[in-house]
Chains A and B, each alone.
Chain A
Amino acid sequence: DTEVTQTPKHLVMGMTNKKSLKCEQHMGHRAMYWYKQKAKKPPELMFVYSYEKLSINESVPSRFSPECPNSSLLNLHLHALQPEDSALYLCASSQEEGVNTEAFFGQGTRLTVV
């Protein structure tokens, strides 16, 4: 199984809502990532979890809250978002060590904040 599964595929939420994005992989990868991508821009790293611990937080606003309940799951909790947070949110995973560190991506969650 080389899939990274993200749910939901699409999400529309109001600025006062609380929602969560979910990501799951069963490849035994110990690094998991959240990226944000706006149109015609490169994916921007938000968070990295390594061995279930947060290792990189790219100065992301606190209205985005990541969680890694176990080695297969990664969540992104959303609260009080702004319309400019509308974007494609991609989850990825990779092996923690070694040169073959290519990332395996999910299909993304298209988020619209209204």
Chain B
Amino acid sequence: ILNVEQSPQSLHVQEGDSTNFTCSFPSSNFYALHWYRWETAKSPEALFVMTLNGDEKKKGRISATLNTKEGYSYLYIKGSQPEDSATYLCAFILWFNFNKFYFGSGTKLNVKP
């Protein structure tokens, strides 16, 4: 069994706060780490695909970092807005089976106006 853990499970912040959450995964046989945003009643949507140790990716106010040697990735949201409210999922992929995504349970973010 391969464990992908996300913390915290849920987070409540005020509009304008910056926040971050963690995805932990095995440090061996790494191929890629994906971040998805899943808004209620919508489809999960890919935010980032991260493949190299030390990768940093940014999309607007959201950014992510990757440390494959220690097995973690951080997702940062700067100046949270109510529309950022969603569940954020990470998915770990092994190099020898890139069709199999191991998902974490997600971090549910609620941004209050």
Contact = CB atoms under 8 A, between A and B. Distances in A.
Interface of A: 4, 31, 33, 40-43, 45, 48, 50, 55-56, 90, 94, 96, 99-108
B99 A55 contact: yes
Contacts of B93: 101
Contact of B41 (A40, A100, A103, A107): A107
Nearest to B44: A105
Contact of A31 (B51, B99, B105): B99
Contacts of A33: 99
Interface in B75-106: 89, 91, 93, 98-101, 103-106
> Nearest 6 pairs between A and B by C-beta?
A102-B46, A42-B103, A105-B43, A105-B44, A42-B105, A48-B99
A4 B46 contact: no
Nearest to A98: B98
A101 B43 contact: no
Contacts of A43: 44, 89, 101, 103
Residue of B41, B44, B45, B98 contacting most chain A CB atoms (<10 Å): B44
Interface string B60-76: 00000000000000000
